[in-house]
Structure 1
Amino acid sequence: MIRKLFGVAIAGAAFIAPSVTAHAAPAADWQRVGDGITSGISGIVVDGRDGDAVDTLAVRDNKNPGENRLVAVRYGPDAAPRVRPVQWSGELPVDLEALDAVPGRDHEYVALASSGTAYRIHVEKGAARVLAAFPLPGISSDGNYEGFALTATKEGIVAVWADRGQDDRPAKLSAATWDPATNAFGPHDSAHFSAPYPDEDVRHVSDVKVSAAGDLTVSSASDPGDDGPYDSALYDAGRLSVGDDGHAQLSVSDKPHRLAAFSGHKVEALACLPGSHEGIVGTDDENDGGSVAAADFCRP
C-alpha cells in the first residue's frame, strides 16, 4: 500500500465530501523532498515498484542553467524519500510544469514546459535524453501551461493539457489524440474549468490526470507569492471521451465534486498507482521547498 510509505495515512483527513469544510492534511503525512525554491515538485509519475518501495520521477520548474530539471524519488516504508538528480541531455527546458509516461513505451515520458512546449524523453540509468521537442496544438503566447496527461484508449493515445488560468480567468483544458510514432496531434477540443476553492490568488488547474475510464482529476492551488500561505484542492472535473470520428471530446463540470483539500501546501503534481485508488500528490512550496504525500484520489 502506497499509504504505508509515507508514515500516517492522509486519506481520512484530506478525503472529503463537497459539503464538508476543507481539512488540512496532518503535517506528519508530508515527506520533504528538498529545501528552497529550486527543490519543489511541479509534475510526478510513478515509475515502478520494488517490494514496498515506489519509484517515481518528478520534474522541477527551474529556469537557470545548472539547476536540476528532473529527479528520481524512491519511497520506502521505514525511511525518508531518497532523491537523486537525473542528468538532462539535450535541449534544456525552462519551467517544466508537468510529466506523464508514454503508454506502451518503456522508459519514455513527456514533460511539459509552461510555454506549451512538450519534451519527449527517454530515461534510463540516471539520465534523461531528449528525443523530440514540439509545441502542443492551440497554445497561446500568454498561456501558462501547468497540467499534462496521456491515456491509452481503444482509438489510440489521447493527450490532455491545461492552461492554468488565474483568478477570474478560468483554466482551459484541451485534449487531442496523439501519435507517438510522429508526435502529431489530431483535432483538439477545449473546455473551461473554474475551481470553487481556493478562492483567492487561485490557479484553477495546477495538474491533471485521466483515469482508464476517462475521468478527469485536477488539482487547484492558491499562490500569493514565494512565501505563501498556500492552499490546494483536488476535483473530479469531468470526463474525456473519443467520438466515433476518432476525435477527443471533453465534458467539464461547472459544479465540480471536490475530492480533497490541503492547507499550507501548493499542490502542483498528481500521480496514480496503476489499477489502484492510491495516488501521490507533490508540492512546489517555493521558498519552503517540495513535499509529497499519499492520498486516495485515483479512479482506476
Structure 2
Amino acid sequence: MRKVPPFFLAAATTVLILLIALLSASTQWRPVKTGILFGISGIALVENSLDEMGCPPATCFVIVHDNKIEGDGRIAILTVHGQDSLDYLPRPWPDGAEWPIDLEAIARVPDSDDSAFMAVTSSGRVYHFTLDSTGKIQLIHIFSIPNLPENSNLEGFDLHLINGQLLAVWGHRGSSEDSGVLYWGWFDWNDYQISPQGSALMTVPWPEEDVRHISDLKVNNAGILYISSSRDPGNDGPFDSAVYAAGLFSMNGDQIEFRPASSLAPLYPMKGHKIEALEFLPGLSGGKILGTDDENQGSYIYLKR
C-alpha cells in the first residue's frame, strides 16, 4: 500500500473543515436577543415542568449571561416552541444576595428532585440555586472552586454522576498562546467541597486565530466529554466555532480516569458565531443545543436533534 504524504492528509483535512463550515453557514441559527448584554455564555436543560410558566420538560433551558454590572441580567429561561418561536424570560436575581460577576457556565444537578443548577463565574465562584414552579430563583449556597492557578479564566463547568458519585468538571479557556486546561474532581454535598482529582491540557486544531480552546463543556451520560471552542478577536468578531468529542471519563477501580481523544476533529465547525453554550437534549437521538455569545451581535441558538 502506498503511503500518503503528510501534506496531502493536511490538505484533505483543511478541505473537509472548509466544506463542513460552508454547509454550516446554511444551518438555521435562531436569534434570541440583540445586544451585548444578552450573549449566552452557558445553557442547561430544565428537566422538571415549570407549570405556572407553561414550560414543559425538554423544551425549556436556563441560560446565563456574563454581565458584570449589578442590575444587568444574569439568568433567563429560554422556551423553545418547535421550529417556530422562542420565549425569553429574564429572572430577577434574589434581593440582597451576592451578585455574580461574569457567569460563564451552568450545569444541571443530576438526579435532583428540584430544578437545581450550579452557575459558575470565570473566577470559579459557584452559585447553587433552584427554580420553583413559577421560575423564581431560590439561591441555596455560594462557594468557590479550589486551587485555581493565578490568571485562570473558566468558561466551562459540568456535573456528571458516575458510580453514585458526583464528578465536577471545569475548564480554563486558554488562548492562542496558552493551552486550555481541563480539571475534574469529586463533589461533596456535606460541605460543598470539590476534591480535585486531575487535569489535562486542551489544544484544538481549529479555530486557529484568537482561539479559546474551551468555551464550554458538557459530559454526556456515557462519560464522553464534549467541548466547544471559539475564535474571539473582539466585540465585533469575526467569530468562528467548533464542537469536539474531547475524551472519556470512566472508573478504574475506585479511581476516576480521563482518557483524552487520540485526535480532535471538529464535529460542527460554525462560521460567523461564537459558541459559548452547549447542552444535550433527552432521547435516543443524542441531540444538542448550541448557544452563542456574539457580543455586539447578540445571541443565537441552534438545535440539532
Q: TM-score normalised to the size of structure 2?
A: 0.86
Higher helix share: 2
Contact conserved, 1:119 with 1:134, CA < 8 A, in 2?
A: yes
Tell me which residue corresponds to 1:9.
Answer: none
| Structure 1, 157-166 or 184-193: larger mean CA deviation | 184-193
Deviation at 1:76, TM superposition (A): 0.6
What are the superposed Cα offsets for residues 34-89 of structure 1, whole Å, 9 maximum, x if unpaired? 11000110000111476797111100001001100000000112532100001211
Tell me which residue corresponds to 2:174.
Answer: 165
Tell me which residue corresponds to 2:42.
Answer: 43
Whether 1:71 aligns to 2:69 is: no
**What residue identity is the alignment partner of 1:213?**
A
Q: How many residues of Structure 1 are paired with residues of Structure 2 in the alignment?
A: 279
How far, CA to CA, are the matches of 1:183 and 1:104 in structure 2?
17
Judged with a 3 Å threshold, the aligned counterparts in structure 2 of structure 1 residues 192 and 19 are, in CA distance, closer, same or farther, namely farther
**Residue 227 of structure 2 aligns to a residue in which SS?**
strand
Tell me which residue corresponds to 1:268.
Answer: 276
What are the superposed Cα offsets for residues 260-296 of structure 1, whole Å, 9 maximum, x if unpaired? 1100000000011124411100000000000101125
Judged with a 3 Å threshold, the aligned counterparts in structure 2 of structure 1 residues 140 and 130 are, in CA distance, closer, same or farther, namely farther
**Residue 268 of structure 2 aligns to a residue in which SS?**
strand
How far, CA to CA, are the matches of 2:91 and 2:232 in structure 1?
28
Contact conserved, 1:115 with 1:141, CA < 8 A, in 2?
A: no
Deviation at 1:204, TM superposition (A): 0.1
Contact conserved, 1:143 with 1:163, CA < 8 A, in 2?
A: yes
Structure with greater contact order relative to length (CA < 8 Å, sep ≥ 6): 1
How far, CA to CA, are the matches of 1:176 and 1:224 in structure 2?
32
**Residue 258 of structure 1 aligns to a residue in which SS?**
coil
**What residue identity is the alignment partner of 1:35?**
T
How far, CA to CA, are the matches of 1:123 and 1:134 in structure 2?
19
Contact conserved, 2:46 with 2:58, CA < 8 A, in 1?
A: no
Could you tell me which runs of 5 or more consecutive residues in structure 2 were left unpaired when the two chains were aligned: 1-12, 50-54
Tell me which residue corresponds to 1:103.
Answer: 110
**What residue identity is the alignment partner of 2:205?**
P
Judged with a 3 Å threshold, the aligned counterparts in structure 2 of structure 1 residues 78 and 173 are, in CA distance, closer, same or farther, namely closer
How far, CA to CA, are the matches of 2:14 and 2:225 in structure 1?
17
Tell me which residue corresponds to 1:113.
Answer: 121
Percent of paired sites with the same residue: 35
**What residue identity is the alignment partner of 1:46?**
L
Who wins on radius of gyration, i.e. which is larger?
A: 2
| Structure 1, 101-110 or 125-134: larger mean CA deviation | 125-134
Tell me which residue corresponds to 1:187.
Answer: 196
How far, CA to CA, are the matches of 2:76 and 2:288 in structure 1?
18
Q: 1:148 aligns with which of 157, 161, 184?
A: 157
Judged with a 3 Å threshold, the aligned counterparts in structure 2 of structure 1 residues 19 and 188 are, in CA distance, closer, same or farther, namely farther
**Residue 21 of structure 2 aligns to a residue in which SS?**
coil
Could you tell me which runs of 5 or more consecutive residues in structure 1 were left unpaired when the two chains were aligned: 1-16
Whether 1:128 aligns to 2:128 is: no
**What residue identity is the alignment partner of 2:215?**
S
**What residue identity is the alignment partner of 2:214?**
V
Q: TM-score normalised to the size of structure 1?
A: 0.87
**Residue 199 of structure 1 aligns to a residue in which SS?**
coil
How far, CA to CA, are the matches of 1:243 and 1:99 in structure 2?
28
How far, CA to CA, are the matches of 2:90 and 2:40 in structure 1?
12
**Residue 266 of structure 2 aligns to a residue in which SS?**
strand
What are the superposed Cα offsets for residues 120-144 of structure 1, whole Å, 9 maximum, x if unpaired? 1112222212211111122123000
Higher strand share: 1
